[in-house]
Structure 1
Amino acid sequence: MRKQKSFLDLSESQKYRRLKKIRLQFNSSGSTAGELDALPNHSTGVVDALPNHSTGDVDALPNHFDEIDVAHLHSPSEHTDILPSVTDLPSTPVVDNDQSPERDIARGTLEPQFHANESQLKNALAHWSIENNVAHSTVDKLLKILVSEGKLEGLPTTARALLCTPRSNNLKKTSCGEYLHYGLKKALGEQLQKVDSDCFSDVIEIDLNIDGLPLAKSSRSVFWAILGRIYCKKVQLSPFVIGVHHSYGKLTLTPQELLKELVEEFKMLQESGFQNDKKSFGIKIRAIICDTPARSFVTATKGHMGFNCCGKCIQKGYESNHRIILSDLNCQLRTDESFRCRADIGHHVGVSPFEEIAELGMVSQFPLDYMHLVCLGVMKKLLLLWRKGNAELKLPPRRRECLSRRLISVASWIGVEFARKTRNFDDVCRYKATEFRLFLLYVGPSLLHNYLPEKYLRHFLCLHVAISILCDEVNCIVYNEYARSLLMYFVKSFSKLYGKEALTYNVHNLIHLANDVKGLGCPLDAFSAFPFENHLGVMKRALRKQVKPLSQLHNRLHEKSMLKKPEGHPIKKYPIMLKPLNKKIAGLCAAYEKLEFNHFVLSSKSTANNCCFLRTKELVKIAVIGVKNDTPVVIGNVLEESESMPFYPLDSRSLDIHVGGKWSTEKIINVDQILSKAIRLPYSSEKVCYFPLLHTHTA
């Protein structure tokens, strides 16, 4: 038989386990306090050494005695060295450092500790359920398991109780469906809880978006959503829901029915102000961003198939081959005053509810949306003409196949900031707006010189340069007039290259795009529909089935509003270094693989993510990311010599677009000198071109 270790030779954890074993054997054998007196004398040494406890009070013994092995106590002759004598015991009790849940259960103290963290657990489960869009039935099953198997009786047993799902809603019947008004004031209060109110001045500027959302391909169920978004240069906030209308089939609702509650609530907030955390804010509409059908609906004006359809100038179009053609480039511009006094009566079909807001410019504050106008409009039109236009325009089949292969190969060069990569040229009809933007700003100029005739290439590059300027937060103001002249030339040449019938609404409105940028004082992406379109997708994914979609949306919005902000959730302070490397680099304290900024990510391991621009406009290719003397730094090569892109209307290097080049030796650069990311793309078999990744500036 294996000899057991002496008690004094055991570690603290081993002593605890041996004593625990004895306690369990006492409980299972039904021993009483009286039986303890019959134990051999060598056990009393343990008892006497424990302060302020008697041998009859077994339950009051400290935990280091509670589990003494009974078998050892009844055979002293064989194991006289198992229990220490009084003199061998320490003068003070053993300190218990075990904080495991099993020890809490043995002590009977788990239940109080659970109650202390019950609200945190419930809040964490609620966040998990809403952020992952988990169905209520799945949450119900999880809660039942936690309550029955985990002995967590304090948790609710249903998802409705956990998420505070409402039992009723405030839907209102309309002439063709139902309307839910969530509320501008309520939504603003929820948004301001996410950020520090010091980020805003005395006036909160908001952007509005009105758009339709088909809910299914198999039915005519459709949402008309009124979304809002707080405009702030310091932080980027997500859009929020103000009101939603649901109907089946074509919308027969009037603008007054859809917008009545929004306009009334905004006028009330405009007069009384908005209170948040004992601070009062004024409220102002900065811009109302819509596509063409939605804008004509809410402004009660002619649509894109009307003769007086242009919302920026008074030009009257003419019909040709079932299209409205707008060929004049120098028509008189509309103004906010001329709109309200009905100077062009043929442009109006009614009175817009937004005209009740006195300070709202019905022309200047309804900017053109470049997501629909340029990306889904003009850029898609050009690609379709090159793919299946007339014999003079379209690319030969062999060139189309070659271009498709190049586009697929370029996908590995695209950075992590792009949700969609390049794909087959024959799938152009299925491209999304982000794919058209990627082609227009980056991929097209780097590839098309091998496939398009020179006159078509130069014409396309005029559009590329103009939109690149208007998307840059600095150049959009400095070079605004130059971008406008390029767009005027592009529209004027469009009829010569593609025919007069191509001068439709979208192409014509390019000449007004620079004026909207100048009027609002910000780049195109600051008033585009991209974030609103993304939020419409979030709304659609929140629906679990096709029955009562508006009630489902109301429940999801209420559940989200009831969430408490998770405690101890740290606010990210950029830049952040990620993925430490297990290697030492001379001169650095530590090395990392990734460097994360607010709007982009750099990596020393990926050629698609290792280039950036400094505040001095220098282009750097990063080799190492690390820390030197407690300061984040990068080690890389600086571009010293490069070429301008051919066929450009100006020197491309003035827009930070470079081809090829000579690199310097490696240099150490502080991270705070990085301004934006650069995207590198293949230009030819030997050369690479570099573009600034727009709308990713750190300052």
Structure 2
Amino acid sequence: GDARICLNCPTSADSNIAIIYDSDLMSILSILLKKLWKTICTYKEKLRSNNDVSGDLDIGFAYAYQNLLRKFPNENFITALMHLDGVGLCTRFFCLGIVLNDEIVKLKVLAVTGDSPALKIALDFIAHNGYYCCYFCYLRGIHQGGKRQYPYQCPHVMRTPGNFARDSSTAAQLKSNEKGHLGVSICSEILDIKLPYSIIIDYAHASLLRHSKSMFVEIYRRLSPVIRATIDIALSQQPFPHFFHRRMKSFKDLSFIKATEIRNILFYGFLPIFHQHLQHDYLGHFALYICAMRLFHGRAILGPRTSDIANDLIMKYYHDFNSFYDGLENFVLHLHSHYQSQYRMYGTFSHLGSFGQESYRLYRFQPNRYYAPR
């Protein structure tokens, strides 16, 4: 690709240069649409009729996408979900529409998702260890035990699109922290659903790699060495069907565990193994979390009340949390109190995990390179 040098950069030292890999978005989408157009048209009819035959509550059958269909009934469009993973953002070019078979197919950006550091950058927000760091509500948090904690509080004072835009604009004008806002988000002009309703919590990071992993470490720490060894053997020898692809890892290897492996332990391994070794009150409390996450993750097995029941379980878990654990009421635990709204807006969490998107490869291209100051 072309090498473009930033003339404003004070030095050409390697430490001040970042390489940005860029792709031709128009070309990528054109190729994908031409290849998948028949499948897209077939699926689009199901979405327009809201005919979720499988009952999986995919993104297209949830409120956010269905509302776009009602808002733009005569437009032919596809949607994109922006997944960020700690990569610096810049504005350069964005595709608004593609001509395919003499039809204009518009691109609408449904939402943005990513881990907390990435969303902090994208939303120009305070970090997850600051006051008012929640994108969805005005929970302030307290400083306790040398770190920021977010004890159970209900109901929340929610952020709306109006006050989200107003607070971010005030922060940009005054160059100050306005209830968590540090400025106007770079995504505000791109997203077709207003912030904060277009923010998706990446449950693979928040619930699996952060909260569940922290709980495994804490529970494992409380066990005797003999019981730890017994549990590690049971986890490593647990048989699974071939389509699981991964075996369970022992808790002594948690430093090198992946989100899918944590999910398997959380959903299928923890209760059958730990019920023999953990105090019943601790086991019952953590079972609330496991059942809630399984309901949010999978199809609506309890019908229209699935998200209500899952929310009741997760909020009971949150409410009683400080009776069992100290110093773990952090930001990721608080985010679970907003899962019901996300479920209703974007569907089951199994369709929102960013790890599947990270490994998804549909188009092979030679990236262009641009050089910019760090």
Cα distance, 1:396 vs structure 2: 0.9
Residues 453 and 358 of structure 1: is their aligned pair in 2 closer, same or farther, counting only changes over 3 Å? closer
Tell me the distance in 2 between the aligned counterparts of 1:464 and 1:279.
Answer: 47
Distance 2:230 2:345 in 1: 43
Of 114, 123, 138 in structure 2, the residue corresponding to residue 290 of structure 1 is: 114
Given the alignment of the two structures, is residue 211 of structure 1 paired with residue 35 of structure 2, yes or no? Answer: no
Determine if contact 1:477/1:518 at 8 Å carries over to the other structure: no
Give the match's secondary structure for 1:305: coil
Q: What is the Cα deviation at residue 352 of structure 1?
A: 1.4
More contact order relative to length (CA 8 Å, sep ≥ 6): 2
Aligned counterpart, 2:36: 195
> Which shifted more, 447-456 or 527-536?
527-536
Match of 2:138 among 308, 314, 323: 314
Deviates more, 1:289-298 or 1:317-326: 317-326
Which amino acid letter does the alignment assign opposite residue 402 of structure 1? T
Q: 1:385 to 1:352 in 2, by over 3 A?
A: same
C-alpha displacement of 1:416: 2.3
| Gap regions ≥5 residues in structure 1 | 1-167, 213-223, 225-252, 389-393, 543-551, 557-699
1:474 CA drift (Å): 2.5
Structure 1 CA distance, aligned partners of 2:162 and 2:38?
35
Q: Indicate the SS of the match to 2:310.
A: helix
Q: Which amino acid aligns with 2:182?
A: V
Aligned residue number for residue 342 of structure 2: 516
Aligned 8 A contact 1:169 1:554 in 2 = no
8 Å Cα contact 2:322-2:329 kept in structure 1 = yes
Are residues 1:337 and 2:145 paired?
no
For 1:183, give the aligned amino acid.
D
State the SS of the aligned residue for 1:428: helix
Look up the SS of the partner of 2:340 in the other structure. helix
Distance 2:195 2:152 in 1: 23
Partner of 2:62: none
Contact 2:127 2:133 in 1 (8 A): yes
| Alpha-carbon separation, structure 2, partners of 1:172 and 1:356 | 27
Shift of 1:358: 6.8
The partner residue of 1:416 within 229, 234, 242 is 242
Aligned twin of 2:124: 300
Matches within 5 A, 1:557-576: none
Residue of structure 2 equivalent to 1:83: none
1:434 aligned residue: 260
Match among 172, 179, 199 for residue 366 of structure 1: 199
Deviation at 1:532, TM superposition (A): 3.0
Aligned partner of 1:527 in structure 2 is: 352
Shift of 1:386: 1.5
1:481 to 308, 312, 318: 308
User: For 1:466-497, what per-residue CA distance to the aligned partner results, in whole angstroms no more than 9, with x for missing partners?
Assistant: 11111123248541111111111111111110
The change in CA–CA distance for 1:308 and 1:192 in structure 2 (over 3 A counts) is same
The alpha-carbon deviation at position 424 of structure 1 amounts to: 2.2
Contact 1:274 1:282 in 2 (8 A): yes
Equivalence for 1:449: 275
Q: Is the 8 A contact 2:111 2:191 kept in 1?
A: no
Give, in whole Å, the separation in 1 of the partners of 2:3 and 2:278: 57
- SS class of match (1:360): coil
Q: Does 2:148 align with 1:324?
A: yes
CA contact (8 A) 1:204 1:284 kept: yes
Q: Over residues 235-260 of structure 1, what are the superposed CA-to-partner deviations in whole Å (9 max), with x where a residue is unaligned?
A: xxxxxxxxxxxxxxxxxx6xxxx331
The structure whose residues are more often helix, as a share, is: 2
Deviations 1:642-699 (CA, angstroms, capped at 9, x unpaired):
xxxxxxxxxxxxxxxxxxxxxxxxxxxxxxxxxxxxxxxxxxxxxxxxxxxxxxxxxx
Q: Residues 371 and 319 (structure 1 numbering): CA distance in 2 closer, same or farther, change over 3 Å?
A: same
Instruction: Tell me which residue corresponds to 2:63.
Output: none
AA of the residue aligned to 1:207? L
Match of 1:494 in 2: 321
When the two structures are aligned, how many residues end up with a matched partner? 318
Contact 2:79 2:109 in 1 (8 A): yes
Counting only pairs closer than 5 Å after superposition, residues 67-106 of structure 1 correspond to structure 2 as: none
One-letter amino acid of the counterpart of residue 186, structure 1: S
Task: Give the percent of matched residue pairs that are identical in Structure 1 and Structure 2.
Answer: 21
- Matches of residues 135-214 of structure 1 in structure 2 within 5 Å? 168-169=1-2, 173=6, 176-200=17-41, 201=44, 202-212=76-86
In the TM superposition, what whole-angstrom CA distance separates every residue of 1:94-129 from its partner, at most 9, and x where no partner exists?
xxxxxxxxxxxxxxxxxxxxxxxxxxxxxxxxxxxx
CA distance in 2, matches of 1:525, 1:351: 31
SS of match in other structure, 1:261? coil
CA distance in 1, matches of 2:112, 2:3: 26
Per the alignment, in what secondary structure is the counterpart of residue 489 of structure 1? helix
1:461 to 287, 300, 307: 287
Gaps of 5+ in 2: 10-16, 45-75, 169-176, 370-374
Distance (whole Å) between structure 1 residues aligned to residue 79 and residue 236 of structure 2: 42
Q: Which amino acid aligns with 1:259?
A: C
Other structure's SS at 1:356 match: coil
SS of 1:354 mapped into structure 2:
coil
> How far apart in 2 are the matches of 1:441 and 1:198?
33
Which letter maps to 1:529?
Answer: S
Provide closer, same or farther for how the CA distance between residues 362 and 170 of structure 1 changes in structure 2, counting only shifts above 3 A. farther
Which amino acid is 1:260 matched to?
A: T
Asked whether the 8 Å contact 1:308–1:316 carries over to 2, the reply is yes
Match of 2:91 among 236, 248, 260: 260
Deviation, 1:338, is 1.7
Deviation of 1:172 after TM superposition, in Å, equals 6.4
Q: RMSD over aligned Cα, in angstroms?
A: 2.6
* Aligned residue number for residue 405 of structure 1: 233
Shift of 1:278: 2.9
Partners of 1:315 and 1:328 within 8 A in 2:
no
How far did 1:261 drift?
1.6
Q: Residue 415 of structure 1 aligns to which amino acid in structure 2?
A: P
Structure with greater Cα Rg: 1
One-letter amino acid of the counterpart of residue 210, structure 2: G
**Whose strand fraction is larger, Structure 1's or Structure 2's?**
1
SS at match of 1:332: coil
1:396 maps to 224
Within the candidate set 89, 104, 108, 1:280 is matched to 104
> Partners of 1:385 and 1:318 in 2: how far apart?
22
Q: Deviations over 1:336-370 (max 9, x none)?
A: 22211118922111121222237332211111110
Query: What SS does structure 1 have at the residue aligned with 2:81?
Result: strand
One-letter identity of the residue aligned with 1:312: F
Determine the C-alpha separation between the residues in 2 that align with 1:284 and 1:195: 18
Tell me the distance in 2 between the aligned counterparts of 1:407 and 1:303: 35
| Counterpart mapping for 1:346-385 below 5 A | 346-357=179-190, 359-385=192-218
CA gap of 1:447–1:172, structure 2 versus 1, over 3 A, is farther
Q: Contact 2:191–2:198 at 8 Å: present in 1 too?
A: no
Structure 2 CA distance, aligned partners of 1:421 and 1:428?
13
TM-score, length basis structure 1: 0.43
